[in-house]
Amino acid sequence: MIAFVNNWLQFLHSIFKWFLQIYPQEKIENKLKVSNSSPRPTSVNYHFTRQCNYKCRFCFHTAKSSFVLPLEEAMRGLRLLREAGMEKINFSGGEPFIHQKGRYLGHLVQFCKRELGLASVSIVSNGSLITEDWFIRFGEHLDILAISCDSFRPETNNLIGRHRNSNKKEAAICEDDDEHLESLERVRGWCRDYRVAFKINSVINAHNFDEDMNKQIRQLNPVRWKVFQCLLIGGENHGKEALRDAEKLVVTDQQFESFLQRHREVACLVPESNVKMRNSYLILDERMRFLDCMDGRKTPSPSLLDVGVEAAIQASGFDEAMFFQRGGKYVWSKSDMSPSLLEW
């Protein structure tokens, strides 16, 4: 019996040695790493505040809370993300310049570039609260500033809600009010002066899908023009619990495509349909919870401050393959950009 067991063990050992010859140990370990690993947080969108001075009707991160993490806690979470592989951070809201008049945001921008050494630090803003003093103090640490602009027609911006909150009734808002467009041009000039890459984000909806923006976009000359298809998110801009109602602003795929075709000669155009957007972004809310949008709502993960990045990201629904497929990683550090891209 003992001899039989010994012979059987020797046979198994020889089979194992043969297997290692055709499938080396390194390949086995790499396969296990791939199958068991979580997505890397290469690029993270941190919506640290929900508060905003605008009331855009399609907003999908609305002012349901006034909570903002203490600065030191936010920095701790950003450090955890850096240790997990984050290369780029994008600060958004709400309106990120609304909290502490931009000082909180400025300290985070400085921390991410100076202390964490991130390749790219960017911001998405409506532009209305930005001052030149902010650029003087923090601009050197910022790679990209994206200003949201959905139309170059003041009356269309008013219909969308892209204007400052006011006690006035909607009908009382002057149709030729171009405050938002004035902010856009003012901030564009500061980006040039303080060597920050300028970007424009536009949401294509029922009020602007027929607009021709070729002339204005070429004049402003952004490094990227991100064009999004209006997206419904339950509890945010759609449904009984929502603070906004974007249902009547949604455009068909054909309407979205017609807008893209009208602007196909604009070299900096980066289109993103609903299919590309959904869960190809790592969205972090004000409590540092990843938001899973797979079911058309924002389902929060546990906070990475409590469970760590790996455990939180597993509950994010993040589609890493789609992130790379949509071109989520690009030349995003201003030090790697051609100097001409920072000019105007």
The catalytic residue positions are 52, 56, 59
Distance CA(32)–CA(247), nearest Å, equals: 45
Spatial neighbors of 314 by CB under 8 A, at least 6 apart, are: 38, 301
Neighbours of 49 (CB within 10 A): 27
Distance CA(49)–CA(97), nearest Å, equals: 9
Cα 95 to its chain centre, rounded Å, is 13
Element (H, E) at 204: strand 197-204
Neighbours of 239 (CB within 10 A): 14
Distance CA(125)–CA(280), nearest Å, equals: 21
Distance CA(186)–CA(282), nearest Å, equals: 30
**Residue 313: burial class (beta carbons within 10 Å; 0-12, 13-18, 19+):** buried
3-state helix, strand, coil in the chain (%, to 5): 40, 15, 40
**Tokens standing for 237?**
């801009």
Contact 66, 97 (CB under 8 A): no
